[in-house]
Structure 1
């Protein structure tokens, strides 16, 4: 029974991820089916990104004000209702691009809140299960990665079996089961915080989270590193590889390469606790970042498919341990009552970094060609990663110590840092 809360948390983690993964495939398909316009499909994708970018900065404060469990349930319930609304409107004969955009925004606006709430509950669930936080972080990230491997595949299968609109009933069902699983979740700190622990306001609470991350040198350095790498990496997955496989008329191979990278990431996340025990957290972190970026540089040369698959697997394998280690740094260095705000700030920074690289990728490909642009972006990833690994603060990763888990409550002893 001690592991039941952790298992329930991962059920929600998996099903909400699968639901979003299905929607990622089905919604553009529906728009193309209704309008026949690729621009309209792009508009829907952009419309769902806008609320994520704006909401992700504030949702951490909402989590700390309302309570982690309530926010996770509300986020999944809203996503489920929004996706169920699409086939319902279709049954009534009123489905058009306007309805799709409105319902897609409704489903996406609280996605960062659900992600933040579940991650904030993870230390408590791991403590109840008797697991080290590092091991729990690896499993949580692996489940999240697996969800986004399964989701698009299930979405494509359902489109073929029942049609795009009806496929969203399955998405709504996944969110509904996630809500039920979360409702039975009992972990320390999941309920609404005491009045004296809540933020005094939405904006003030968000500023407190920003200030805390900035004043914690280790969190500041690691957040900057991830943002730089994401800004330079995202164009690979979203622009460079799609253009390359379109140019050689092998679009199906794109999904194979991206899936292989994701599988590598799942395996790497699961291996985190084992390799950290053997080699140390700082060494694993530095080697993982450098090897992942070197493999990405190999991808930048756009070799044949076998080499691409091998390099994609290596990229995922080595990047896999990075996020669990960063999660542990955040968990240990952040007071319990601030955890939602800090996760929200770090997540929003990562979300914001991606579009910067995407804005540069298109002009670079148009001006220099896809191969030259891919090599330049890969070199940029490597240079930025090396520069970000230089600060000595990263050696503090080996000094991270989880609190003693003797009782049911998690007490993080780290005080607020001095300005």
Structure 2
């Protein structure tokens, strides 16, 4: 008899926390390694770009494979590959055989396996949380909490390790955490593949054609869902700025003002502590709060102030205190986002759509490090902090005014994963059906939103009712676009 649902939840949480701690060690170690060996803020940005570009691309491009083969299997394979890549990096660095171009290549490989691996872990959340009998907000909050706890440990640990045993050797800690995470998921996490994954794929739906159709289906769902589009576009901007802050601005500020990598860990640890405490609070009460306004206020408080703070004062006591207090609100952001996403995405498309949303939200990250390095080198660290802080402030005001964000508030009458009536539900129909050579199936009932006739809750337009129409054959029509208007 294998591990039960609670053991699976504990295994996933612990694995995610340990992996987050190791990743945060490398967040400090990699830029510090470049800074102490080259002294170049621009090359520090290049390293961040080399890791995050393949991370973002493969998070989306590998998503259909995650849906096909399951999040558990992909997560384990990616963790194992990360151990090997980091081990090779450390060996080459210690033997003097790691020029900058080779470091960029290895870091790119690391990003290429981290992206699908983290998406695979994310995909496991709803099934494991539901099996354990927890609300989605609480389950997403627990996962975010252990990740933030890992960050709280990993950032200061990375600063201490980089300052004592060296940035290169600190990467060994990251390799060990990937190994432990993979073993935990292998031993404890048991998630049966859903019916849609076990079902035989139609002829013509396998191989490259099936992969392309799967990818198209996930992208179509994202494009025609106004809230998912709004999440992706907003977090695209904030993640770009966050990457500039983490990969370049904070390390350059710490080196310029204090000359020590320990400061990076101290400031990062204060943010991690505040976020962890906030997460513990919001994991308990988040499902009772209005999602949109809670999310908007918390993101506004957690985002821009730290940039202006570093530009305004060099007082470490003030900085650490304010960063810790404002970071309390970070704990609400990812649980609320995660719950809204899980509710809107059908189970069989989860990896594809989450991969598409994640790639859109992370698309600015590769550029963030480059822009941070370029701006810090060009105008100085103070003005670079002010510029990026202003951009963050503008982005975090959007949920207060953009109509699509009203869809974030939960619909308690609709089961998770069932499409909302305000967009055409044929978005969940497989695109690959059109290319199948199998006999045409019977007519399919499709729910289509009725015309808008009255204002809905929070002033958003809502359909008066749903009409059911008969469609002969497989479905392959994109949904009608809904009105327009994700953290790292």
Fold-level match, TM-score > 0.5?
Answer: yes
**Cα drift, residue 49 of structure 1:** 3.0
1:79 alignment partner in structure 2: 82
**Cα drift, residue 278 of structure 1:** 4.5
**Cα drift, residue 328 of structure 1:** 1.0
Bigger shift: residues 254-263 or 40-49: 40-49
CA distance in 1, matches of 2:170, 2:369: 30
Assess if the C-alpha contact under 8 Å between 2:156 and 2:266 holds in 1: no
Query: Does structure 1 residue 283 correspond to structure 2 residue 293?
Result: yes
- Aligned to 2:274, the other structure's residue is in SS state helix
1:119 alignment partner in structure 2: 122
Counterparts of residues 185-264 of structure 1 (less than 5 Å)? 185-189=189-193, 193-196=198-201, 200-251=209-260, 252-264=262-274
Counterparts of residues 321-400 of structure 1 (less than 5 Å)? 321-362=332-373, 364-365=375-376, 368-400=379-411
Q: CA 1:14–1:274 in structure 2 vs 1: closer, same or farther (change >3 Å)?
A: closer
* CA-to-aligned-CA distance 1:355-412 (integer Å, 9 cap, x gap): 44444445544565443442333233222222343123322222244976xxxxxx73
Counterparts of residues 126-137 of structure 1 (less than 5 Å)? 126-137=129-140
- Aligned to 2:237, the other structure's residue is in SS state helix
* CA-to-aligned-CA distance 1:240-282 (integer Å, 9 cap, x gap): 3444443433544343222211222222233223343443222
Assess if the C-alpha contact under 8 Å between 1:138 and 1:272 holds in 2: yes
For 1:292, which of 298, 302, 306 is the aligned residue?
Answer: 302
**Cα drift, residue 321 of structure 1:** 1.0
Q: CA 1:24–1:190 in structure 2 vs 1: closer, same or farther (change >3 Å)?
A: farther
CA distance in 2, matches of 1:46, 1:227: 15
CA distance in 2, matches of 1:286, 1:72: 32
* CA-to-aligned-CA distance 1:219-247 (integer Å, 9 cap, x gap): 11122222222234443333334444434
* CA-to-aligned-CA distance 1:60-102 (integer Å, 9 cap, x gap): 22211222111011101111122233456679x6843366555
For 2:62, which of 52, 59, 62 is the aligned residue?
Answer: 59
Q: CA 1:29–1:377 in structure 2 vs 1: closer, same or farther (change >3 Å)?
A: closer
CA distance in 2, matches of 1:362, 1:42: 5
* CA-to-aligned-CA distance 1:146-169 (integer Å, 9 cap, x gap): 223323444555567776666555
2:418 alignment partner in structure 1: 413
- Aligned to 1:399, the other structure's residue is in SS state coil
**Cα drift, residue 333 of structure 1:** 0.4
1:408 alignment partner in structure 2: none
Assess if the C-alpha contact under 8 Å between 2:80 and 2:182 holds in 1: yes
The two structures, once aligned, show a CA RMSD in angstroms of: 3.4
CA distance in 1, matches of 2:109, 2:240: 27
Q: TM-score, normalised by structure 2?
A: 0.73
CA distance in 2, matches of 1:42, 1:358: 4
Bigger shift: residues 188-197 or 212-221: 188-197
Q: CA 1:29–1:354 in structure 2 vs 1: closer, same or farther (change >3 Å)?
A: closer
**Cα drift, residue 339 of structure 1:** 0.6
1:96 alignment partner in structure 2: 98
- Aligned to 2:312, the other structure's residue is in SS state coil
2:476 alignment partner in structure 1: none
Bigger shift: residues 94-103 or 377-386: 94-103
CA distance in 1, matches of 2:47, 2:390: 32
Q: CA 1:403–1:187 in structure 2 vs 1: closer, same or farther (change >3 Å)?
A: farther
- Aligned to 2:134, the other structure's residue is in SS state coil
Q: TM-score, normalised by structure 1?
A: 0.84
More helix by proportion, 1 or 2? 1
2:283 alignment partner in structure 1: 273
CA distance in 2, matches of 1:363, 1:217: 34
Aligned residues: 410
Assess if the C-alpha contact under 8 Å between 2:28 and 2:159 holds in 1: yes
CA distance in 2, matches of 1:168, 1:271: 33
Assess if the C-alpha contact under 8 Å between 1:18 and 1:147 holds in 2: yes
**Cα drift, residue 334 of structure 1:** 0.4
2:13 alignment partner in structure 1: 10
1:407 alignment partner in structure 2: none
Assess if the C-alpha contact under 8 Å between 2:302 and 2:329 holds in 1: yes
**Cα drift, residue 21 of structure 1:** 3.2
CA distance in 2, matches of 1:372, 1:88: 39
2:438 alignment partner in structure 1: none
